Amino acid sequence: MGMVGISDIQRAAARLAGVAARTPLLESAALNEACGRRVFIKPENLQRTGSFKFRGAYNRLSQLDEAARRAGVVAWSSGNHGQGVAAAARLLGVRASVVMPGDAPGVKIDNTRAHGAEVIFYDRYTEDREAIARDLCAARGATLIPSYDDPGIIAGQGTVGLEIREDVGRLGARLDAVLVCCGGGGLVAGTATAIKDADPATAVYAVEPEGYDDYARSLASGRRETADASRPSICDALLAPAPGKLTFPINRQLLAGGLVVAEDEVIEAMRYAFRTLKLVVEPGGAVALAALLAGKCDRAHETLAVVLSGGNVDPAFYAGVLSED
């Protein structure tokens, strides 16, 4: 399986106990009926900081030694990883700086600052966030906290899968498929590791927005393909231009494939989440639900789990989604 195994995820779960939210596994009679399948919903929009990213960040930061904690941490992020790192750092008494694109949703910028982190802006189309972050680390002796390509991050996100399998098991069910959103591939890699360990027959899919389907193409070709990162997308959380170096071998081994959704399908899923599920989901957090609702998941899969990965969306944007209807 490579560098992250089920025991790493179980250790991460122990570190997160009482700190991260143990999010529930929801089921909606209306959604089941609409799909003609049994669908479990893992609502990571209800997670601390509003997305699953807190899991990986806290798991990673809690393993820093004393000297590293004193020197602080640096992350780059479109917003959710930044909030996760900021909140984890504050809980652990660590200074955090987050390099964010100037066009990140205001709610993500505000919350990252509210959790006590320093925010450093860059231009997503002309500047190299990795270089900015690495310079900062070099100058301060700080530790870089990658958003997906790191075993501690992958193991932390994998607790999403561990909780799904625990709760599904408690209900006496078994999963034919799990749909997980995918940017750099950390969440789906960790989740697949936990899910496939429990039941190798469960198919796990990475779901991406149109234009950022580098993972779907990479899984098909067997090598890391890239996306044109200059293309705008409402799915601000999923704009990684290529599969991670560490996540790709895991996902290549474990995933059944990639699914791709169009923006109007994402918008429709956000409306459905609001109206029927009564959940606030950000665009990038809605892609797995969008794939399901748009009928992109093999009909042979009768029992599925869908991860709603985050809910950090500007109220004005959601208001627009609701009123355009």
- Give whichever of 295 and 315 is closer to its own copies, judged by the CB atom: 315
Minimum distance of its own copies from residue 39's CB (angstroms): 13
State yes or no: is 51 an active-site residue.
no
Over 92-146, what HEC string results?
Answer: HCCCEEEEEECCCCHHHHHHHHHCCCEEEEECCCCCCHHHHHHHHHHHHCCEECC
Minimum distance of its own copies from residue 83's CB (angstroms): 11
- Give whichever of 142 and 277 is closer to its own copies, judged by the CB atom: 277
| CA 142 to each of CA 52, 146, 184: distance values in angstroms, whole numbers, following the listed order | 24, 13, 23
Residues with Cβ < 8 Å from 224, sequence gap 6 or more? 214, 218, 242, 243, 245, 248
> 83 burial class (0-12, 13-18, 19+ CB within 10 angstroms)?
buried
Helices 263-272/315-323 angle, 10° precision: 90
Phi-psi map region of 28: left, alpha, beta (phi>0 left; psi -120 to 50 alpha): beta
Minimum distance of its own copies from residue 84's CB (angstroms): 12
DSSP code, position 309:
-
- Give whichever of 56 and 185 is closer to its own copies, judged by the CB atom: 56
- Give whichever of 107 and 266 is closer to its own copies, judged by the CB atom: 107
- Give whichever of 59 and 202 is closer to its own copies, judged by the CB atom: 59
247 half-sphere exposure, CB direction, 13 A CA radius: 32
* Binding site residues, its own copies, CB under 8 A: 21, 24, 26-30, 43, 45-46, 48, 50, 87, 107, 271, 274-281, 311, 315-316, 318-320, 322-323, 325
State yes or no: is 53 an active-site residue.
yes
φ/ψ of 14, rounded to 5, equals: -65, -40
Largest separation between any pair of C-alpha atoms in the chain: 56
Minimum distance of its own copies from residue 263's CB (angstroms): 19
Q: Which residue of the set 42, 51, 53, 78 is catalytic?
A: 53
Q: Which residue of the set 51, 78, 147, 309 is catalytic?
A: 309
- Contact yes or no for 221/171 (Cβ under 8 A): no
- Give whichever of 4 and 88 is closer to its own copies, judged by the CB atom: 88
Minimum distance of its own copies from residue 179's CB (angstroms): 19
Minimum distance of its own copies from residue 222's CB (angstroms): 37
Residues with a known catalytic role: 53, 309
